[in-house]
Structure 1
Amino acid sequence: MTKKFASSGMRILTLKLLLVCCFSSSTFASESMLDQGLRDCASGNYNQALSLLQTSYAKAEKNGDKVKAASALAQSYMQMHQAAKAETYLSFAFDKADDKLDKAGYAIDFGNWQQQQGHAEQAAYYYDAALKLAGDNASIAISAGLNRHKLTAKKMPPAEQVKNLQALWQRLLQLKDAPQAARYSLNLGVQARSLGKAGLALAFQAFEHARVLSLAPGQARLQLEALDQLAQMYEDAGRFDDVLSLTDQALLAAQGVEAHDLLINIEWRHARILRAQANNVGAIAAYQRALEHIETIRVDIPVEYQDGRSSFRETLEPVYLGLADLLLQTSVQLEGVQKNAQLRRARDVLELLKQTELQDYLGDRCAVETARANRKSTQLASDTAILYPIILPDRLELLLETSSGMYRQSLPMSATKLRADVIDFGNTLKDNLSFQSQAKRLYQALLTPVDAELTQQGIHTLVIVPDGVLRLLPFAALHDGQRFAIEKYAIAVVPALSLTNTNARAHHDAAFKTLLAGMSEPGTVVDKLPNAMVEQLLNANQQASSMNGRQVARAVLTRSLRNIPKTADSSMSGKLSELSISKPEQHQQLQQMLALAGVNEEIHTLEKLTSSQTLLNAGFTVAAFSQKVKTGDYQIVHIASHGVFGGTADTTFVMAHDDVITMDNLQLFLRAGSMKSQELELLTLSACETAEGDDRAPLGLSGAALKARAKSALGSLWPVSDDAATLLMGQFYRNLAEPATSKAQALQKAQLTLMKNSNFNHPFYWAPFIMVGSWL
């Protein structure tokens, strides 16, 4: 199914937006700024519009100008899916508008906002208010009618819905204003098409009417939307030649028009049709153009999250994967240099995809762009390989890069089955159960196809760029029937090679100054935890009574993370919603449950192995940590405390003794220090936890490293026993001090040490630890 971005064909149309887009210049001092902001809003450049409109709103002296700026701000926020920020401006525009028709338009805006929030009665109230204010104005009647129909459609059978839309259609045909009529026709057509076969005839009429009306000069964007909707109907009907004809018309109409948001879908469909007709060269070119449009406006494309999944997965990822898929499949027809170049091109597309995923997770384009710009790369060592597993619906692609070139293997495999196998394997390891058959099955899928090439080239370090659910997979625990993968390879994970600084370390880490921060006894931080987490912890108190702190995290935090809401405040300030613990006994229970008894030993062990300063328990406050790292004196920062990685950066934080350190604050502290010294070599989070089953959550460790400008990060996919973590961390830092030992090799040796210990030989204890970023 083809997805759409914010455009009048897919969103609820409002008269207000039409008035904003068409309003003529005013005479107040900021008129050019306001006009430009309105134009940016109308063309979909919402981030650019916001800055101009906010300034215009603040400086406007005339009530009418302030109202227009407020309305456009609200529209921009709504299209960027920041509905909470829109409410104040919607209310202001509705309350302060002088003209009745304008006020009616603002009433429809407010009704649409209420409908988005699920407030049906309030939405109906504002639609009715619009009708009363507008009198016999046909345009407002149709706008309110379309939105009211959407509000109540689910309660009506399809036949009644069609009848209602037909009545609106007859009124719409009488409208004199062609652009307004075209927009309303698009809206009506989308609602009719959603009814399936019963509404197809009406949908086609509406889209064709919009196309004819939009042929007038200056209506190119409307024409593109109409052609896009018609082309989609023809694609659904399998009329591919008609789709290509409409696409040619759309591309001609788009010349000289700022319409990247619309052309993404048009070129993506173009690629699909050409591929279906076996025109692979044309399909690749169309996919490439779609990607170029995405990259041009990436910052303005809103992303929503639901059940741990990003709307990016539904709207943009298929474009990237479609191009990569086609490049990989057609590489079979090539040989030598040409084949290698095409596989590298597929790799580059995947890199763009990984960068975009991380941008969405962090909600921060700048951090990713900075990392890409500052990346320092060296020639891939002869004993190192990069593995890109690519999950497609019907198969698994393995793209291997070594110093000798690129290699590809393809295996028929259901993406659904692979996801289930990975999650089951992780759960088996976390529960300390028998795992051998699962470990072999996943090894055969992911590593057996490239094993011969790795052996032939003498590969000792395997760097994996995981895709989707594979981020949750402890590759170290995969088993070939004789040995674990970690026994064969030092393994590292990178979110994207293009964001990884692979410049070698200047000297051994024993010489690096290290900041050790640990929390074995939580303080007032328990009063600052998200409500959902606190509820889960307290509800699980009886079950967790015999567990240590890391086991409590495994048993409880994984479940609570799914319910942590992303609040409007968190998106603005980085602060998490708080719950004030009123009963002293509850406060004490939380402190006991989140205690990490092994942290004291871990910190004291590392003090002997590193040149370090220590912040422990009451000394590990947010202020003290900030003061230390801002000096820029440290090349390694080791935090032994609960680190919680959720599905977005807003649900990701580290616990200090007195408060949480959000990812944004961690960035501020560590980057302030990095401005005064060299880049941070290593950020270690030795008691971190990822949200169970959410394959975006491991991006938290990558994101923490990226925001802190750390070359590498060491963390774990799930909490293990204090004794195991303390032993592994001590051994890791000992190994790291050895000459010519890379970070990945130091971790490999530490994991093998645990494996040889009869108390910790199950993968539960050593497999979750991962090195993210530079493996050198």
Structure 2
Amino acid sequence: MQLFNQFYKLFIQYIGMNCIFIFIIFSTVASASQGKDSFAKANLFIQKGQYLYAVQVLDNISKNFSKSSVNYLKSQIIKANAIKAMGQHKRALSILTPLLQNIKEYAPAELAVRYYIILGKIYVSFSNQEIASKCFEKGLKIAKQSANQLLVSEVLNEMGILFYIYAEKPGFAENSIQAFEHAINYSEEVLSVTPDIHFFHGQLLVNIARASLHPKNNFETAKKLDRINQALNFILDLPDTYKKGRQLLIIANFFEQVALLDKKKSAHYLEKAFKIYNTIDDLNQLINNDRLASMVYCRMGALYERSNMLDSSITLTRKAIFAAQKISDTEQIYVAHWQLGRLYNKMGQTFLAIDQYQKSIEALTPIRQQIYHSDLMKKNVFDRSIKPVYLELAEIFFDLASTQIKPEEYEKMIRQVWTTMDKVKSAELEDIFHDECVSYQKSNYLSLDDPLDFSAVMYLIPFQKQPGMIIKLPNGFKHFRLKVYTQTFNKEIYKFRHAISQFGEIEDYAIKLYEWIISPIYNDLKKQEVKTLVVASDGAIRLLPFSLFLKYDETFLIEEFEIVTIPSLKLTRTAQTNRDTPNILLCGLTKERIIGNKIYPALPFVNKELEKIRKIVSGDIFLNADFSLSNLSKFLSQNEISIIHMATHGEFVGIPEKTFLLTEKGRLTINDLEKLIKQTPSASIDLLTLSACQTALGDERAAFGLAGVAVKAGAKCAVASLWSVDDYTSQKIITEFYQNVYINKTSKAKALQLAQIKLLEKPQYWNPAYWAAFLVIGNWY
């Protein structure tokens, strides 16, 4: 799978390279020779990957043009493209958006098409398929009106890529093939008279071959091979250049994929892949490109690894690192060090492996944002290209801990596991919210060195074969493997989550999870008088609250322990809550809303919920028509607020643009919420309550996004629900929670525990579907 993933990445990255091709063939001519020279210079920097220098050149020349001039528009589009290539997609979008009106009025057809292509690609990187599609459709319309076949072909290529990314949607896989076929037809019409587009045509053949391999396109192996060989034969006839080498790398990967599909002929296809690598190596002896050398050595090393020829693999991977270091190619450095770490680990050279993994992470850290956006398979890039590096290193430390005799060495290894997992959780939150600053906490965050009176911090880690647990108890650390395989563990969680949504039988699932996770540490928890479990989980278990784990005597875990969810230690703020003079902003929606094909039912008990809470904590209510972004913005900028409570439907998915809370006439996104809270005089709040939200069924990233909502929004603590709960039940639990915190002065964790127990003790509400959805997230004091 690792081999497939890395090769697949090459294909997607190459697709991303067409941004360079697009802007090098601009036909629009600068009015002055200085402008011509400057555009040529900027494009040369882009070709070399020196995007910052290109931006500087473009900034200088754009000062000489009026903002409605073609040259100014051209400079800004190329600049946005360069900034996008650096991974700064929001900044690129901020450059393009103000150009729209002038593009419509003054831009020639070619320039307008380039504008819509890059704008669409940015929205693709934001996982906004709808807007990206509209951009490409506008570009296609203009391209067809201009009768420029090449422009039409380029837009169809982008549409094919978009369909491919969302190939799981009905009809999209077929649409991807059709778009590439049409693009190839248009390209062939001008191929003989425009010879400098041969590489673009080759890219189209590569793209359709890749689309043919998608499982949703049920082509016979012979059809897949036919398309792969068409691309191979065409590209082999092209001049020996870096682009040719990159395309051949992708095609070699295709043969490796076919080898995975056709086990009987696997050796044959792997041999073809190896021959292509040798061809690339021969080509590179002529052009002497260090980046290409690093990539091909890395891939050849992976093939040797697959054949268990580890010494040869290590030799080639070292050569890959050396070539990448010569040109400071950070991405290749991270990939090659990762591979070398994996190889050393397989050979039992543990400390050499640790060194290589740490070097990989060191190279990866400053370029994570670039990688998130350079790989168009946005839904999987973190899980394929980022997370495994951290998890594999964490597992090495985890296993090393078991071999340590001295307590201080054992603790050192466990702390390394914890530190590594904290890093990956921060990286994941950055990816989910498209915000590299979201995980930055200056101070007052939870630490392993903090005293844990009556508390235990638990971290469940989904290692590839068998999950692991690390736990910080009042008197020290403990770790163990769960007695279940990760694949089985995950399947049981998904079944359990589905059973909850159907109000089905849950006892067997709840007991299994208790036995796997809690039983091995139960005696330690009791012996050390632990009252609060602080849970930082990863993987599928994030879909379930620990509160519903069931003991064999039918006692739920929440009946014995207060339970808190945190995204990670360093993403949890520890500052104290204002209990003496709290002031609350209460927002709610009682009316039914219809968004697209989805109906959000009325919430008739919301008004009662808000009124009850206002009797406990003084504040203002914004209900229905008053609950709008503009009203909230004005109010929060003028008032000191310590609590924000929102009783309205909310959707949490693994994409920030599709995560929202409903107002009467619109949506409030998580980014809107963050901006609102930053408008308050203190720029932060003690508590954010979302009493009617839900996460997508089976969406682990959405569940983690919910856990990170307090971090993103700037709240010390959040109370939210993993799934939609009847609003009568919701108002019972939530009002009891406020009563416990602000009248009875309990901790937030204790307050929710008491509220949930009070409800589940009523026979008609025993099922966890009624009460277990609610979580205390973050600062639980």
Alignment counterpart, residue 495 of structure 2, candidates 408, 414, 424: 424
Q: Percent identity?
A: 23
- Asked if 1:494 is matched to 2:499, the reply is no
How many angstroms apart in 1 are the aligned matches of 2:326 and 2:114?
Answer: 27
- Asked if 1:661 is matched to 2:668, the reply is yes
Deviations along 1:472-524, whole A, 9 cap, x unmatched? 2121122223432122211110112211101222x42x5201112222235xx
- Asked if 1:708 is matched to 2:709, the reply is no
Q: Is the 8 A contact 1:150 1:191 kept in 2?
A: no
How many angstroms apart in 2 are the aligned matches of 1:595 and 1:56?
Answer: 40
- Asked if 1:331 is matched to 2:401, the reply is yes
Report what 2:772 is aligned to.
767
Unmatched tracts of structure 2, length 5 or more: 27-32, 52-80, 164-174, 260-265
Structure 1 pair 356–180 and aligned structure 2 pair: CA distance change class (3 A): closer
Aligned partner of 1:358: which letter? L
Aligned partner of 1:484: which letter? F
Aligned with 2:322: secondary structure?
Answer: helix
Aligned partner of 2:306: which letter? D
CA drift of 1:14 comes to 7.4
How many angstroms apart in 1 are the aligned matches of 2:84 and 2:231?
Answer: 27
Aligned with 2:649: secondary structure?
Answer: strand
CA drift of 1:751 comes to 1.9
How many angstroms apart in 1 are the aligned matches of 2:684 and 2:42?
Answer: 40
How many angstroms apart in 2 are the aligned matches of 1:67 and 1:187?
Answer: 31
Deviations along 1:542-589, whole A, 9 cap, x unmatched? xxxxxxxxxxx6xxxxxxxxxxxxxxxxxxxxxxxxxxxxxxxxxxxx
CA drift of 1:130 comes to 3.2
Alignment counterpart, residue 420 of structure 2, candidates 349, 363, 386: 349
CA drift of 1:457 comes to 2.3
Equivalent runs, 1:610-625 vs 2, <5 Å? 610-625=617-632
Aligned partner of 1:185: which letter? L
Deviations along 1:230-269, whole A, 9 cap, x unmatched? 2222222222222111101111111242322223332222
- Asked if 1:223 is matched to 2:293, the reply is yes
How many angstroms apart in 1 are the aligned matches of 2:506 and 2:116?
Answer: 58
Deviations along 1:700-737, whole A, 9 cap, x unmatched? 43343223201111122233344432232222112112
CA drift of 1:767 comes to 2.0
Report what 1:280 is aligned to.
350
Structure 1 pair 767–306 and aligned structure 2 pair: CA distance change class (3 A): farther
Report what 1:366 is aligned to.
437
How many angstroms apart in 1 are the aligned matches of 2:674 and 2:285?
Answer: 51
How many angstroms apart in 2 are the aligned matches of 1:495 and 1:754?
Answer: 27
- Structure 1 window deviating more from structure 2 (477-486 vs 766-775): it is 477-486
Aligned partner of 2:87: which letter? N
Structure 1 pair 164–710 and aligned structure 2 pair: CA distance change class (3 A): closer
Aligned partner of 1:115: which letter? G
Report what 2:158 is aligned to.
113
Aligned partner of 1:270: which letter? L
Alignment counterpart, residue 406 of structure 1, candidates 465, 470, 477: 477
Q: Is the 8 A contact 1:606 1:730 kept in 2?
A: yes
Q: Is the 8 A contact 2:84 2:92 kept in 1?
A: no
- Asked if 1:636 is matched to 2:661, the reply is no
Report what 2:279 is aligned to.
209
Report what 1:245 is aligned to.
315
How many angstroms apart in 1 are the aligned matches of 2:302 and 2:614?
Answer: 64
Aligned partner of 1:605: which letter? K
- Asked if 1:598 is matched to 2:670, the reply is no
- Asked if 1:301 is matched to 2:371, the reply is yes
Structure 1 pair 171–474 and aligned structure 2 pair: CA distance change class (3 A): closer
Equivalent runs, 1:4-403 vs 2, <5 Å? 4=6, 6-7=9-10, 11=14, 17=20, 27=36, 35-38=44-47, 39=49, 40=51, 45-48=85-88, 73=118, 77=122, 80=125, 84=132, 87=136, 109-116=154-161, 117=163, 118-135=175-192, 140-141=197-198, 144-145=201-202, 147-148=204-205, 150-151=207-208, 158=221, 172=235, 175-196=238-259, 197=266, 198-215=268-285, 219-302=289-372, 310-334=380-404, 335-369=406-440, 372-373=441-442, 375-377=444-446, 379-403=450-474
Deviations along 1:48-98, whole A, 9 cap, x unmatched? 599589969979999999699869957974994768287489769979999
CA drift of 1:127 comes to 2.8
- Structure 1 window deviating more from structure 2 (71-80 vs 691-700): it is 71-80
How many angstroms apart in 1 are the aligned matches of 2:708 and 2:439?
Answer: 9
Greater RCO, 1 or 2 (C-alpha within 8 Å, sep 6+): 1
Report what 1:575 is aligned to.
none
Report what 2:77 is aligned to.
none
- Asked if 1:531 is matched to 2:576, the reply is no
How many angstroms apart in 1 are the aligned matches of 2:504 and 2:361?
Answer: 44
Equivalent runs, 1:512-531 vs 2, <5 Å? 512-522=582-592, 526=593, 529-531=594-596
How many angstroms apart in 2 are the aligned matches of 1:357 and 1:753?
Answer: 36
CA drift of 1:628 comes to 2.2
CA drift of 1:408 comes to 0.6
Q: Is the 8 A contact 1:303 1:312 kept in 2?
A: no
Aligned partner of 1:183: which letter? R
Aligned with 1:186: secondary structure?
Answer: helix
Aligned partner of 2:157: which letter? N
Report what 1:479 is aligned to.
550
Unmatched tracts of structure 1, length 5 or more: 538-552, 554-593
Report what 2:73 is aligned to.
none
Structure 1 pair 54–219 and aligned structure 2 pair: CA distance change class (3 A): farther
- Superposed CA RMSD in Å reads 4.0
Q: Is the 8 A contact 1:641 1:654 kept in 2?
A: yes
Aligned with 2:461: secondary structure?
Answer: strand
Aligned with 1:388: secondary structure?
Answer: strand
How many angstroms apart in 2 are the aligned matches of 1:89 and 1:261?
Answer: 34
CA drift of 1:45 comes to 4.4
- Structure 1 window deviating more from structure 2 (188-197 vs 726-735): it is 188-197
Aligned partner of 1:719: which letter? S
Aligned with 2:542: secondary structure?
Answer: helix
Structure 1 pair 733–307 and aligned structure 2 pair: CA distance change class (3 A): farther
Alignment counterpart, residue 728 of structure 1, candidates 733, 740, 762: 733
Alignment counterpart, residue 718 of structure 1, candidates 714, 723, 746: 723
CA drift of 1:665 comes to 1.7
Query: If the length of structure 2 is used for normalisation, what is the TM-score?
Result: 0.79
CA drift of 1:174 comes to 5.4
Equivalent runs, 1:744-759 vs 2, <5 Å? 744-759=749-764
Number of equivalenced pairs:
703
Deviations along 1:353-386, whole A, 9 cap, x unmatched? 21222222222223233xx335544623322211
- Structure 1 window deviating more from structure 2 (749-758 vs 469-478): it is 749-758
Query: If the length of structure 1 is used for normalisation, what is the TM-score?
Result: 0.80
Aligned with 2:470: secondary structure?
Answer: strand
- Structure 1 window deviating more from structure 2 (155-164 vs 705-714): it is 155-164
Structure 1 pair 33–710 and aligned structure 2 pair: CA distance change class (3 A): farther
How many angstroms apart in 2 are the aligned matches of 1:716 and 1:162?
Answer: 49
